[in-house]
Structure 1
Amino acid sequence: MSEQLISILALLAIFLIGTLRAVNLGALALVASFVVGAAVLGMDTPEVLAGFPAELFVILVGVTYLFAIARNNGTVEWLVQAAIRLVGGRVAAIPWVMFTVSCVLVSLGAVSPAAVAIIAPIGMTFAARYGINPLLMGLMVVHGSAAGNFSPLGVLGVVTNGVVDSSGIAGDPTILFLSNLVFNVLLGAGIYFGFGGRHLIAADRKRHHSSPAATPATPEPRRAGPGAVALAPEPTKTDTDVLTLNRDRIVTLASMIALVIGALVFDLDVGLMSLTAAVLLTLLAPSTAKEAVGQINWGVVLLVCGIVTYVSLMQENGTVGYLGNAITQVDAPLLAALLICYIGAIVSAFASTTGILGALIPLAVPLLATGQVGAIGLVAALSISSSVVDSSPFSTNGAMVVANAPKEQQAMVYQQLMKWGFGLVLAAPLLSWAALTVLAGW
């Protein structure tokens, strides 16, 4: 049995054991990395741990640490109230605001995980405060960022267009950007109306018809369970509910603004900037930061980092190339194109989208040489398939949503995101392939 096949079977065993037994998947994945790496691949410990995602670890810890402090000192609540006033008290509009802001940030050059790291904590806090289904809010943030991924200014757009050019493939950056944008906007509409948007709209209409001047302040949140549709609670308006800016909140807001500027303008690491801001806020106001470290979801950190470590080991031993080369032997070029899209979706649900596109686009060259598959359509379909699955809880974006959900709802959000993410793994390649390579024929 080949090393690549053993590593694939071990990954399946990780999910099977983690599903049947109450064991953290990340812990299982780290053990599997050690066993497969040492016993099968002959790696030593530094080689096994070379794929540990240190940057992702710092992002998850740093961002959740900073926003835990921001929640404790009232800054996030102040932002929530400001957002409600901005949209005239219409709670139903907020998920689309989060979608749009995430899309714009990524389109202008922010890496998708950085945009989600900035927007998700605010969006998830808002969802908890106003009884919006956390799955709705989290997915709108993630797919908003995904919508901007292939902008000519975006990181993935620049990388993908560069790989296409270097591989000698005919590309079209405009079609790539617009096809991905439309795909994610349609997904966003489905998410919105499928996970409670209609009820939010109805609640807003009822509220504004009965009291046009009413603006939500700080009502008691309503819990949205698995499959439940959350309704925006009726507003209560009392002067004591309205938060004002004090020293700690002003400093925290300044830190968040610096975080955005550092990520977008100076390309600084979001995780390290967040940790720096969190430490400074802790020194400034120890009382509000005392419980923040305990509010970091270490189980999510272990889960994501463990899985990514194992998938990195699979990439290191050539599993992705092994699968790609096997697919190129398929006689039917259109079927081979579909299979490549599926590989991109499956692997990218756990690993770097940029790395997957860089590895798989060159593998498509022999298929394109047959003339039976359009280059522009295949590149767009592969790009969509590999990026739209970032809502998986094992990707950075999905993990940020889980980590920032209320603790009592994190298990539900994780389970629902896993179903959604793997649903996209099955559906996105087929839909994008059919639309862009079969029907459009680009």
Structure 2
Amino acid sequence: MSAHWISICALAGMFVLATALPINMGVIAFVGAFLVGTLVAGMNAKAILGGFPADLFLTLVGITYLFALAQNNGTIDWLVRLAVRAVRGRIAAIPWIMFLMAALLTSVGAVSPAAVAIIAPIALGFAARYGINPLLMGLMVVHGAQGGGFSPISIYGGITNKIVANAGLPLSEMATMMASLGVNLAVSALLFVTMGGMKLFRQQADAAGPRGAAAPGAAPSEAAAAGSRAYQAATVAGLLALAVLTLFFKLDIGFVSITIGLLLTLMAPDLQKGALSQVSWPEIMLIVGVSTYVGVMDKMGTIDFVGHSVAGLTSPLMAALLLCFVGAVVSAFASSTAVLGSLIPLAVPFLQGDGGVGAIGFIAAMAVSSTIVDVSPFSTNGALVLANARGIDRNVFFRQLMVYGAVVTVVAPVLVWLLFVVI
């Protein structure tokens, strides 16, 4: 068995072991990265740790710490009440507002994880307070961010359009943008109907929220000891600064969120003592462990091996489908941008021939299948949703996200291939 197949089988074994036993998959993945990297790929520890996602680790720690502060001082509660007033108590409107806000942020240039990091904590806090399915709310945010992600001025859109242009392929920026928005909007509508969204039309909420409710995820004493309105205003200013500095000045969201968190902590050290313990350490361990293992696979050349094996098939239509599958599977664990950059060039030979595969349709299918899977708990967006969920069993919620991500990874490539390549 080749080294590539050993690494693939090891990854599959990790899933089986983590599913069968109550062991954090991140721990298993770190051990897998060490054993496969050392014994199979001949890598040293420094090379193995080169796959550790330091930026993702810092983002998850910074965001969950900052929003733990906002939760403890009552700011999240305050923002939820403002949201209720804005829609005049119409609970059913809130998931769609979160979808649109996330889509707007990514469409004007925000990276998808930054948009999700800003919107998801508020959305999931609202879900916990009013009994909305947290899976529905989290998925609406992620699909919104992905829906707006391919506008001509967005990060995904700009990178994809440049890759396509450099490959000498026909380009339609609007086709890619509308394909992503249309598919994510349709999926969100389906989720809304099937995950209890319709019953929300019968619910109304006053600005004070459910009688006797505490802040999502906070202990009753914390809710009772919520910070002063001035301190909450300072927290909101910090959240706005986070958005401005990351979206417009392109500063690292992890560093910025921790800096803002420190400034808020200095204002009220005693109130914030519990914030660091509220960081979602088990989920972070899981995510960075799996990402480190995928990094080892990437350095081994396994990702390129799979991509070239698929691209070498004789049937262009079948090759297009399998490349969409490869893009979906790899993006569920790694960078969607990197996947687009590596797989689109592999398709150039059959896109330039007479194999019945149109370049514009394939690029749209590739774009959607490689990004819609970011609902996976192993991707940055899915990880942010998992880390910010409140008032639920995290293990159950992780499995729900993993199952949904697996379904999307299997179904989405076939669907977009039929819609944009075959039809």
For the aligned pair, the TM-score class normalised by the smaller chain equals over 0.9
- Partner in structure 2 of residue 304 of structure 1: 287
1:156 aligns with 2:156: yes
Using the TM superposition, give the Cα deviation of residue 247 of structure 1 relative to its aligned residue in structure 2, in angstroms: 2.1
Say whether 1:281 aligns with 2:260.
no
Asked if 1:16 corresponds to 2:16, the answer is: yes
From 410, 418, 437, give the equivalent of 2:402.
418
1:288 to partner: Cα distance: 1.8
1:217 aligned residue (203, 208, 221):
208
Whether the aligned pair in 2 keeps the contact of 1:169 and 1:365 (CA below 8 Å) is yes
Other-structure match for 1:332: 315
8 A contact 1:142–1:390 mirrored in 2: yes
Pair 1:428-2:412 in alignment:
yes
Deviation at 1:403, TM superposition (A): 0.6
Alpha-carbon distance between aligned partners in 1 of 2:92 and 2:227, rounded to the nearest angstrom: 24
Which deviates further from its counterpart, 394-403 or 328-337?
328-337
**Equivalent residue runs for 1:53-132 within 5 Å:** 53-132=53-132
Could you give the per-residue CA deviations for residues 222-271 of structure 1, whole angstroms, max 9, x where no partner exists?
9xxxxxxxxxxxxxxxxx99x99622101111100100100111001111
Deviations 1:362-413 (A, max 9, x none): 0001221332210000111011000000000000000111111115332222
CA distance in 1, matches of 2:82, 2:19: 42
CA contact (8 A) 2:25 2:290 kept: yes
Distance, in Å, in 2 between the alignment partners of 1:129 and 1:215 is 12
Residue 305 of structure 2: which of 303, 322, 327 is its match? 322
Q: What is residue 211 of structure 1 aligned with on the other side?
A: none
Letter in structure 2 aligned against 1:346: V
Match of 2:35 in 1: 35
Q: What does the per-residue CA deviation read over 1:148-198, in whole Å, with 9 as the maximum and x for residues that have no partner?
A: 111111101000000001111112111000111000000110111111111
2:82 and 2:207 in contact (8 A); partners too? no
Inter-partner Cα distance in structure 2 for 1:29 and 1:251: 40
Alignment of 1:197-236 (within 5 A): 197-204=197-204, 215-219=206-210
Instruction: Give 2:351's match in structure 1, choosing from 364, 368, 389.
Output: 368
Counterpart in 1 of 2:244?
261
- Aligned-residue offset at 1:328: 2.2
Structure 1 distance, partners of 2:77, 2:171, is: 45
Other structure's SS at 2:152 match: coil
312-321 or 33-42: bigger deviation: 312-321
Equivalent of 2:277, from 294, 312, 327?
Answer: 294
Partner of 1:165: 165
Distance 1:55 1:324 in 2: 26
Q: Which amino acid aligns with 2:231?
A: D
Q: How does 1:176-187 map to 2 (within 5 A)?
A: 176-187=176-187
- 2:216 aligned partner: none
Q: What are the within-5 Å matches in structure 2 for residues 345-424 of structure 1?
A: 345-371=328-354, 372-406=356-390, 408-424=392-408
Name whichever of 402-411 and 23-32 sits farther off.
Answer: 402-411
Is the CA contact (8 Å cut-off) linking 1:98 and 1:140 kept in structure 2? yes
Q: 1:123 to 1:221 in 2, by over 3 A?
A: farther
Mean CA deviation greater in 176-185 or 16-25: 16-25
Q: What 5-or-longer segments of structure 1 have no aligned partner?
A: 205-213, 223-239
How far apart in 1 are the matches of 2:74 and 2:207?
A: 17
Q: Which residue does 1:226 correspond to in 2? A: none
1:271 is aligned to: 254
1: CA distance, partners of 2:212 / 2:51: 40
TM-score, normalised via structure 2 length = 0.95
Aligned identity (percent) is: 47
**1-side partners of 2:191 and 2:202: how far apart?**
17
CA distance in 2, matches of 1:284, 1:189: 43
Q: How far apart are residue 22 of structure 1 and its match?
A: 1.4
Residue 438 in structure 1 maps to residue 396 in structure 2: no
Per the normalisation by structure 1, the TM-score is 0.91
1:424 maps to a residue whose letter is V
Question: Which residue number in structure 2 is paired with residue 229 of structure 1?
Answer: none
**How many residues align structurally?**
412
- CA-to-partner distance for each residue in 1:98-132, whole Å, 9 max, x for gaps? 00000000000000000000100000000000110
8 Å CA contact 1:78, 1:244 repeated in 2: no
Alpha-carbon distance between aligned partners in 1 of 2:125 and 2:212, rounded to the nearest angstrom: 10
- Structure 2 CA distance, aligned partners of 1:220 and 1:116? 29
Contact 1:333–1:370 (8 Å) recurs in 2: no
How far apart are 1:202 and its partner, in Å? 2.3
Q: Report the 3-state secondary structure (helix = DSSP H, G, I; strand = E; otherwise coil) of the residue aligned with 2:393.
A: helix
Q: Which amino acid aligns with 2:388?
A: N
AA at the equivalent of 2:267: L
2:328–2:373 Cα contact (<8 Å) kept: yes
SS at match of 2:378: coil
